[in-house]
Amino acid sequence: MPEFTQVRAPHYAASGAPTPPFAGRVLVAGGTVIGPDATEAADVLVENGVITAVASPGVLRHADADETIDAGGCWVLPGGIDPHTHLDTLIRGHRTCDDFHRGTVAGLAGGTTSILDFCYPEPGESPLAALHAWQARMLAQRPAADVGVHMVLVQPGEDELAELPRLVAEGVTSIKVYMAYRGRRMTDDRGLLRILQCAAPLGITVLVHAENGDAIDLLTAQAIDRGETAPHHHSHTRPDLLEAEAVNRIAHLARVAGARVYIVHVSGATALDPIRRSRAAGWDVHGETCPHYLVLDEHALEGDLATAAQAVCSPPLRRAADQEALWQALADGSLAMVSSDHCAFRIADQKIMEPRFDCILNGLPGIEQRIMLLHHFGVRTGRITPRRWADAVSTAPARMFGLLPRKGLIAPGADADLLVFDPERRRTLTVADHHSAVDHLPYEGIEVIGAPRAVLAGGRIAVRDGRPVPGLAGGGRFLARTPGVPHAEEPRPAAPVLQTT
């Protein structure tokens, strides 16, 4: 077996495929590479924005590189992929406070080199027209990392559904639907089934916000009539049974249509049950959870209004026992990955529209903290292995959403998105030391052990010694994707992921 694998840096068109943004050669030396099949000491050479060689330690010459990153004592992962963010998103008249530049810089600071956000067509606007407008706005904001998009559909007509093949051709291979928020985003069962029927033959993955919206609306109105308006009443009106009911319903609708569904922000044990049953039966049902469901619980909704409002999200935070159920689901693969669901509103002037739980804008920040929190509370506690951690934050999203083998792997020919992660580096999470525009942090004061030392995005050094470097604006590109292959037959590079002596 040769001591290293080397490829010529390929040329990419500018249609959304990676355009090499950096001509220099960077050697990442002395680290332990975490791959899907092995965890081994190896050096990684990148050139023209792609990985050109993965070799046994010492085989690649430092003299052949323009710069060498010392990864001694560190794990080297494929750059993080956050499959669920809400940047520059208008919600109930307020726009999330991180645009595509600020949000992607925060992501890079935490080791995330690619994100998938959402495009919301206006009423009467075609999905294609909405996509093109979204692309122009996103690129105008000069993102620092690569950005792809899920298309949101709300009660679409046949004309809108007829555009799905063209969306796939333009690299949008996933759509999102809501089973809650009637009158704003909710799609009824008839519409859901029709979407699933159209998505299935195209290989489109359908993301689902699974809560029984009509039942929640009734419980909310009843709570307000009783004067139960404090933030902790938010969780009482969105019980876990109504999340589980919606998961069960969409799983059956997807089975009827032969479609793949991906349940976003699974919050606890009750919603896990129908996911596990569906998967055990061989149904194409997948799910994610988020750091706030793994680390925080319902007690975060107590306290004064400004403090409790920081923790309002939907589905709501659950019990401590639900956290352990989610960790177990990550460990055994019942849940595929962890997204941030980063949806940041400032407490000072945005999040609390009125001092009533249903007038508090939903969403928590987390794009920067996602990978560190999963490592600290998952890997260091033994709940998940380092390989499962790397899979959950990078490889699994790449597999699910059509980015393999370009992203999510450390292999010759893949994009040079790398996270050099020091498992012993200590960092205290605080609003004073993060890179989002949000003015609060639900993880304030938590000291994590394990943080990025360096990050490469498209071959460029984006983070040095744990800090984003200047000049990142405009380094990101639109991510055109193929249909995802979430099972074992996912595409792999022709060369082995890792070759050693």
Looking at the fold, whether 89 and 163 belong to one and the same domain comes out as yes
Which CATH number characterizes residue 278's domain?
Answer: 3.20.20.140
Using the predicted structure, report yes or no on whether residue 26 has a pLDDT greater than 50: yes
Looking at the fold, whether 350 and 368 belong to one and the same domain comes out as yes
Count other C-beta atoms under 10 Å from residue 95's C-beta.
14
Q: How far is CA 311 from CA 287, 298, 366, in A?
A: 22, 9, 12
Q: Which residues pair with 274 in a beta bridge?
A: none
pLDDT of residue 13: 29
In a domain, 205, yes or no: yes
Laid out side by side, the sheet with 260-263 consists of: 80-82, 112-119, 146-152, 174-178, 205-209, 260-263, 285-289, 337-338
Specify the pairing of strand 80-82 against strand 174-178.
Answer: unpaired
In a domain, 327, yes or no: yes
Which CATH number characterizes residue 47's domain?
Answer: 2.30.40.10
Count other C-beta atoms under 10 Å from residue 321's C-beta.
11
Looking at the fold, whether 320 and 199 belong to one and the same domain comes out as yes
**pLDDT band for position 2 (50/70/90)?**
very low
pLDDT tens per residue across span 95-116: 999 999 999 999 999 999 999 9
pLDDT of residue 226: 98
The predicted model gives 115-119 an average pLDDT of: 99
Task: Confirm if 370 and 390 have CB atoms less than 8 A apart.
Answer: no
In a domain, 4, yes or no: no
The predicted model gives 281-307 an average pLDDT of: 97
pLDDT of residue 23: 65
Q: For all residues of the chain together, what is the average pLDDT?
A: 93
Q: Which residues pair with 95 in a beta bridge?
A: 90
Looking at the fold, whether 65 and 124 belong to one and the same domain comes out as no
Task: Confirm if 77 and 50 have CB atoms less than 8 A apart.
Answer: no
Count other C-beta atoms under 10 Å from residue 21's C-beta.
17
Looking at the fold, whether 214 and 172 belong to one and the same domain comes out as yes
Looking at the fold, whether 127 and 247 belong to one and the same domain comes out as yes
pLDDT tens per residue across span 425-481: 999 999 999 999 999 999 999 999 999 999 999 999 999 999 999 999 999 999 999
- The type of residue at 110 is G
Looking at the fold, whether 142 and 267 belong to one and the same domain comes out as yes
Looking at the fold, whether 64 and 84 belong to one and the same domain comes out as no
And the tokens for 9?
């840096």
Task: Tell me the DSSP string of 167-192.
Answer: HHHTT--EEEEESS-TTTTB--HHHH
The predicted model gives 47-72 an average pLDDT of: 94
Largest CA distance in the chain: 73
- HEC states along 445-499? CCEEEEEEEEEEECCEEEEECCEECCCCCCCCCECCCCCCCCCCCCCCCCCCCCC
pLDDT of residue 63: 83
Using the predicted structure, report yes or no on whether residue 20 has a pLDDT greater than 80: no
The predicted model gives 66-80 an average pLDDT of: 98
In a domain, 475, yes or no: no
Using the predicted structure, report yes or no on whether residue 25 has a pLDDT greater than 60: yes
Q: How far is CA 239 from CA 233, 269, 374, in A?
A: 10, 12, 25
pLDDT of residue 487: 62
Domain count across the chain: 2
In the listed set 381, 401, 421, which residue is the last one of a domain according to the structure? 401
Looking at the fold, whether 92 and 52 belong to one and the same domain comes out as no
H helical segments located in 116-212:
127-140, 158-161, 164-169, 189-199
Looking at the fold, whether 49 and 132 belong to one and the same domain comes out as no
In the listed set 350, 373, 401, which residue is the last one of a domain according to the structure? 401
Say how many Å lie between the first and final Cα of the chain, rounded. 7
Looking at the fold, whether 61 and 91 belong to one and the same domain comes out as no
Task: Confirm if 291 and 366 have CB atoms less than 8 A apart.
Answer: yes
Range of the domain at 44: 25-77+411-468
Task: Confirm if 416 and 458 have CB atoms less than 8 A apart.
Answer: yes
HSE at residue 164, side-chain half, CA atoms within 13 A, is 25
With pLDDT > 90 as the criterion, what percentage of the chain qualifies? 89
In the listed set 369, 401, 433, which residue is the last one of a domain according to the structure? 401
Using the predicted structure, report yes or no on whether residue 494 has a pLDDT greater than 70: no
Looking at the fold, whether 69 and 114 belong to one and the same domain comes out as no
